[in-house]
Each structure stands twice: as C-alpha cells, then as structure tokens.
C-alpha cells in the first residue's frame, strides 16, 4: 500500500455554487432529485435509534449469542471499554475555571482551536489563525474537553447495555445524562453562544456548533438505554425538551443561522446534528427539510471530479475530506427515517454520494497517494465508518477487508463490527 502518512503539499482548485443557487435548490430538490424514494423503509429493530441501523444491531446481537467469532471479540472489547466508562464522570459545565461573558457557568464555552496569540502584539490580541495547528490553550476550557468524551462514553455504555442487558451500564449512562443535561444545579443551558470564541475578536461564533456534532451519537445512546429501569419516562421527556430547545436555538439564533449558511463540512455537520435532534423530538417535517437541504449541499460542495474543494483548501485536506464525507454518511443513515434514500439519489447536476465515495475510497483505504496538502499524518481510523458504509450501501467488494488491513492487530477487537 502507498503510504500517505508523510507530509504532502498541493492544492486542487475548485469553486462552489453561489449562495442564491444553494438556497433555491432547497425548494426544488424534493421534486428534481433522482433516486429519492418516498416510503423507503426506515431502520428500527427493537430500539429507537436513528444514525445506527437498529435492524442490523438486532441481527448482530442474535449472531453474537449464536457464537459469531468476530462479533464476540468485538463485544469483549466493548465491555472492556464500557467498564472503563463506568469510572468516568459525571461531569458538568460548572467545572470550568473561566466564566463565560454571560456570567453564567451553565453556558457552554470553548475557544477556536486553530487560533493563537499574535506574537507581534504585546497582549497577543486579537488571536490569529494557524490552520490545522491546535492551540493547547483550548484545554483550559473543560467544556470542549468533556462534551465529546461524554457523548463517546454514553455511546459505549448504551451499546454495552444493549448487547449485555446489564443494567449497570444504563444506570451510569443515566447519571451522566442527568448531570450534564437535566439537573438544575449542573445542567448545560441549551445554547452555544460562547463556543469557539476568538480572543480579541468575539465571545463566540457560529463555527462553535461543530462542537456538538457528537449529538448524533448522543440521541442514539439514549435510544439504546430506553428500555432500562434507570431511564425513566420523565428523563426521556425532559431530554426531548432540552433537545427541542437546543434545536430551536440552532434554527433561530444568529450563530445558528450563520453556521447553517456555511459551505463546507460545518454546514453538513450542522445538518447532521439538527437532523438527529429533529428525529429525536419527533419533528419529521423539519427532518425531511434538513435532508433535502443536505442534498443541495452535496450538489454544491462536490465538484465535477468528485472532490470537495472547500476541504481541499485546508492544510489537512485528506482529514477534512473524510470529515465531510462522514457527515454525509450520517445524514444518509438518518434520511431513511423520513422516507428518503440519500444513498442512491442523484442531484440535478449529476452529483451523488456514491460518486464521492468511489473517488475518495482509494485514498481513505491507503491504496493511492493523496495529492492534497496534509501537514499531519492522516489517522486511517477515520476511514473505517465510511468504508464499512460503502461496503453495505455501495457494494464495495473489498472495503471490509481494507478495514481489517488498516486496523492490523486491533482489527479483531473493533467495536464498529457490532454496527455493520
């Protein structure tokens, strides 16, 4: 295999449609996209999940009980990780040292990761951008550190509960959820007004919504523990109210509207998380609108050569190409719940998710040398979800084998096998 872990510089030129075209497409996509199938069967199985294929989850649970070796090994690793998660937290937004400009620690706060003090200024302000280089100062704001770990641990605990039926995992997941989202003394306010602030320039910005992309996993984690005695109906109702309030803030705030209008991976992740929230609160009409908007984004963001120009401009362009593709995969998974087959649609200009997958697959699989700039080694683990989705949805013949090869000695214990 050709190694892309070395630092490679280069650019691929490209341009996006003008904003007025993007907006107009939202209204015509429901009628002009080829491949949309209203009535496409939604996924479910025996749990209320949206990004995960619930039917596949049930098949895997039964197969594991019947002695499937690969799934058994993946399950053992899942339980090891879940046992570690039992020792983590609870955590809350109240633990950060720095108080947001609102004066209320219940408000989430983080710093823009790629902005650094300006060495030419005595006070370093305003901060300047160094794309792809993370300022260690972001670690001073615990909210940004805690939230992805919280969602990841909830996801692991939820899967462990589902596959083992052991209430201890659901009990701890319930505690984590209550402390971060529900308890009045510790709960996070449902907004991101102060997310990804740039010192000397602003108190927060729309780009901060990328911090909550993990909510896609959050709502599925809640679905996975839904049958537990430790997840009471009142908790479910209150969590839906919180998510509904956050979704409303996303749709109506200046920060949310700005993020929705972005033309790169941020816009797609905005759609992915708002779609997850809309499905979680049973707002199917909004969910369908979001999927149609994502289709217009695919049409606008993918060029004729099946690259994403906005991601190719980045200093870690392979990472961001995979990042935006992962967001589209999430949208495609969830689209099935509103009767749209995002996997097979073709946009008015001939774009499709399969077109993007077929082009990127050799690079994500380390079969072909990446031509774009990549100032950091690419983590091929970021490819696993995309490759396995391609195996299932696009009939990629060797994608599962490629994941095994990329993972090496860790392949037998990959938890992702439990999802596909």
Could you state, in order of their start, the residue ranges of all structural domains in the chain? 1-42+284-420, 68-261
Is a pLDDT exceeding 90 seen at residue 388? yes
**Closest to 281 measured CA to CA, from 259, 260, 313, 250:** 250
Token pair 């994403």 is at which residue?
Answer: 308
The answer, yes or no, to whether residue 13 has pLDDT greater than 90, is: no
pLDDT value for 44: 61
In eight-state DSSP terms, residue 265 is H
Mean pLDDT of 227-232: 98
Nearest to 22 by CA among 301, 308, 296, 269: 296
What pTM was computed for the model? 0.88
pLDDT of residue 18: 39
Residue 16 has what pLDDT? 38
For residue 20, pLDDT beyond 70: no
Spatial distance between the Cα atoms of 77 and 410, rounded to a whole number of angstroms: 10
Enter the tokens of residue 406: 């990329």
Buried b (16+ CB within 10 A) or exposed e, 162-189: bbbeeeebbbbbbebbbbbbbeeebbbb
d(CA 417, CA 420) in angstroms, rounded, equals 6
How many CB atoms neighbour CB 114 within 10 A? 18
Note whether 131 and 311 are within 8 A (CB): no
* Range from 26-40, 80-94, 333-347, 397-411 carrying the lowest mean pLDDT: 26-40
Evaluate if residue 130 carries a pLDDT over 80.
Answer: yes
Answer yes or no: are the C-beta atoms of 391 and 414 closer than 8 Å: no
* Residue found under tokens 């050569």: 305
As a whole number of angstroms, the distance between CA 190 and CA 157 comes to 23
Both structure tokens of 184: 């009045």
Adjacent-strand bridge partners of 194:
109
Strand partners, 128: 116
What's the pLDDT at 43?
60
pLDDT of the residue at 246: 98
The Cα angle at residue 276 between residues 275 and 282, in degrees rounded to 5: 85
Q: What was the pLDDT predicted at 36? A: 46
**CA 50/CA 24 separation, integer angstroms:** 28
For residues 28 and 347, give the distance between their C-alpha atoms in angstroms, rounded to a whole number. 11
Rounded Cα distance, 208 and 74, in Å: 34
98 or 262: which carries more pLDDT confidence? 262
Among 133, 144, 158, which residue's Cα sits nearest to residue 195? 144
Q: How far lies 249's CA from each of 5, 68, 169, in Å?
A: 40, 45, 31
Closest CA to 223 of 416, 86, 52: 52
Tell me the DSSP string of 361-389. HHHHTTSS---S-BSS---GGGGHHHHHH
Residues 6+ apart with CB under 8 A from 326: 382, 385, 386
Binning the chain into helix, strand and coil, the percentages to the nearest 5 are 55, 5, 40
Name the phi and psi angles at 109, rounded to 5: -145, 140
**What token pair was written down for 286?**
């909004």
Tokens of 58: 């049930």
Contacts of 131 (CB under 8 A, 6+ apart): 114, 314, 315
Least confident of 26-35, 222-231, 339-348: 26-35
What's the CATH fold of domain 68-261?
Glycosyltransferase (1.50.10)
Which has the closest alpha carbon to 268: 252, 291, 245?
291
The per-residue pLDDT for range 80-95, each reduced to its tens digit, is: 999 999 999 999 999 9
8 or 219, greater pLDDT: 219
| Radius of gyration of the chain from its Cα atoms, rounded to whole angstroms | 21
DSSP secondary structure letters along 144-202: HHHHHHHHHHHHHHHHHHHHH--HHHHHHHHHHHIIIII-TTTPPPS--TEEEE-TTT-
Q: Does domain 1-42+284-420 have CATH number 3.60.20.30?
A: no
Position 415 confidence tier, pLDDT thresholds 50, 70, 90: very high
Q: ∠70-74-75 over CA atoms, to 5°?
A: 115
The three-class DSSP label of residue 92 is coil
Q: Does 158 have pLDDT greater than 50? A: yes
Distance, CA of 120 to chain centre: 37
């Amino acid at each position: 295999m050709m190694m892309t872990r070395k630092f490679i510089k280069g650019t691929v030129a490209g341009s996006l449609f003008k904003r007025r075209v993007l907006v107009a497409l939202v209204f015509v996509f429901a009628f002009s996209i080829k491949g949309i199938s209203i009535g496409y069967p939604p996924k479910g199985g025996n749990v209320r999940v949206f990004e995960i294929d619930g039917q596949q989850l049930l098949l895997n649970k039964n197969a594991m009980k019947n002695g499937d070796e690969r799934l058994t090994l993946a399950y053992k690793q899942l339980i090891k990780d879940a046992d570690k998660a039992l020792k983590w937290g609870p955590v809350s937004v109240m633990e950060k040292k720095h108080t947001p400009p609102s004066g209320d620690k219940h408000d989430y706060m983080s710093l823009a990761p790629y902005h650094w003090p300006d060495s030419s200024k005595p006070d370093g302000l305003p901060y300047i951008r160094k794309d792809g280089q993370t300022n260690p100062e972001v670690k001073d704001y615990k909210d940004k550190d805690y939230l992805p770990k919280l969602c990841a641990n909830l996801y692991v605990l939820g899967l462990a509960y589902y596959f083992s039926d052991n209430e201890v995992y659901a009990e701890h997941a319930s505690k984590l959820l209550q402390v971060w989202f529900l308890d009045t003394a510790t709960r996070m306010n449902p907004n991101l007004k102060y997310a990804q602030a740039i010192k000397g320039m602003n108190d927060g910005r729309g780009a901060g919504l990328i911090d909550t992309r993990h909510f896609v996993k959050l709502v599925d984690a809640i679905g996975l523990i839904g049958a537990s005695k430790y997840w009471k109906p009142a908790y479910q109702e209150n969590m839906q109210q919180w998510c509904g309030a956050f979704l409303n803030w996303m749709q109506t705030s200046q920060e949310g509207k700005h993020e929705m209008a972005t033309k790169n991976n941020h816009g797609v992740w905005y759609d992915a998380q708002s779609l997850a929230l809309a499905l979680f609160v049973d707002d199917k009409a909004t969910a369908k609108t979001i999927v149609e908007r994502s289709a217009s984004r695919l049409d606008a963001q993918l060029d004729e050569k099946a690259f994403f120009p906005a991601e190719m401009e980045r200093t870690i362009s392979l990472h961001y190409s995979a990042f935006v593709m992962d967001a589209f995969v999430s949208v495609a998974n969830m689209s099935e719940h509103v009767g749209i087959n995002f996997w097979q649609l073709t946009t008015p200009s001939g774009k499709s998710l399969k077109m993007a997958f077929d082009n990127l697959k050799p690079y994500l699989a380390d079969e072909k040398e990446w031509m774009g700039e990549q100032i950091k080694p690419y983590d091929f683990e970021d490819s696993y979800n995309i490759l396995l989705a391609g195996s299932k949805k696009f009939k990629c013949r060797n994608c599962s084998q490629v994941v095994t090869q990329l993972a090496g000695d860790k392949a037998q214990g990959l938890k992702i096998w439990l999802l596909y």
